[in-house]
Amino acid sequence: MIYKIIRPIIFKLDAENAHDLAIKFLKFFPHLATLNVFNQEFDNLNLKVFDINFANPIGLSAGFDKNAEAIKALSKFGFGFIEAGTVTPKEQIGNDKPRLFRLVEDQAIINRLGFNNLGADNFLNNLKNFSQDQSKINIGVNIGKNKDTIDAVDDYIFLLNKFYQHSKYITINISSPNTKNLRDLQNEDHLDIFLQKISSQKKQLKDKFNKNLPLLLKIAPDLDLEQQKNIAHIVLKNQIDGIIISNTTIDRNLNLQSKLSVESGGLSGAPLFEKSNQILKNFYKFTEGKIPLIGVGGIKNAEDIYKKIKCGASLVQLYSAFIYQGFGVVEKMKKDLSELVKKDGFDNISKAIGCEVPL
């Protein structure tokens, strides 16, 4: 209710300035930001994924809290997990401004930020300041390469080493459209060699720390069917623990109404819902349900979450809904989702995973 009142004021600001202001508010006034939050959990939404307990399947997608500086406040809004980042080894300013746009008519966002962040050392300090032992919430780290890095795998291995002991999972982001040539790593030949090196490093860290940290791969929604099949095969071959489906799209053939749809960059939000769901179904089939999938793209309500679960997602992530509906949206989604699970006769949401996708 409060957000409905202040949203018109926030939306008068430039999108990136408004985002930066929100992060500062959450960071410096966490108690004030969460003053009216009533966080209720529902037993039928509890589930275990990657051998990790999640209070509910709803997560915050990477991109909102790039530097892990607002996770104390964000952890109070009812999410089952938060993915911070994308973080790169070195600080970088990203692409030229303006680079973030609200497509209000479409309930969508376009960004061409380019992994702007304060670097791995700053990120790690913020993570350490937030003790996961004091919260039920799980924090994942989304990692990417610096713009000027020649051999991308060097950056990913560096970040894997840095955050292995300080996160519940790590997401390998090679699917942002806003870093030149990054998506080339999804090509079959590149990806197999890349993931072999990543998996080899993980094995060393697993043995060293006696900890099996889940590694996830975040893919683009702009892959053709053959590319999807190849990626699924390579992921299974290299024992990657899960896939996030999907990142933002460069596709503009989505019946967009906003004049800002001509802006370059990655599109997220409501128009991506059906496209990402189809890819989710495909990967559930191609992986034969053997590894968990996280569904992202266009979620507006509990019905959308439930649809992604039925399409094969074990967990889901929000971003744009958080921008358009405010911080209280998670609590409503959880309550409604719990009722949908009961209505279908499932004692737990895990029973609904992939139920609409015959294997």
pLDDT tens digit string along 163-193?
Answer: 999 999 999 999 888 887 888 878 878 899 9
pLDDT at 97 over 90: yes
> Measured between alpha carbons, how far is 35 from 37 in angstroms, rounded to an integer?
6
Q: Does domain 2-352 have CATH number 3.20.20.70?
A: yes
Of 201, 15, 181, 166, the C-alpha closest to 87 is: 166
Q: Which residues, in sequence order, are CB contacts of 209 under 8 Å at separation 6+? A: 164, 165
Q: 98 preceded by cis ω (within 30°)?
A: yes
pLDDT at 2: 62
Cα Rg, the chain, nearest whole Å: 19
According to the model, what pLDDT value does residue 1 have? Answer: 52
Domain boundaries, the chain: 2-352
SS3 267: strand
pLDDT of residue 36: 72
pTM (predicted TM-score): 0.95
CA–CA distances in Å: residue 98 to residues 95, 110, 221, 260: 9, 11, 24, 12
Please give the average per-residue pLDDT across 22-28, as a whole number: 90
Identity of the residue numbered 202: K
* C-alpha to C-alpha distance for 138 and 274, rounded to whole angstroms: 28
Per the CB < 8 A criterion, the answer to whether 334 and 301 are in contact is no
Share of the chain above pLDDT 90, in %: 81
Query: pLDDT of 291-322, one tens digit each?
Result: 999 999 999 999 999 999 999 999 999 999 98
- Binned at pLDDT 50, 70 and 90, residue 215 comes out as very high
Over residues 325-333, the mean pLDDT reads 90
Catalytic residues: 176
pLDDT score for 132: 57
Q: Is the pLDDT of residue 4 over 80?
A: no
| The pLDDT of residue 346 is above 80 | yes
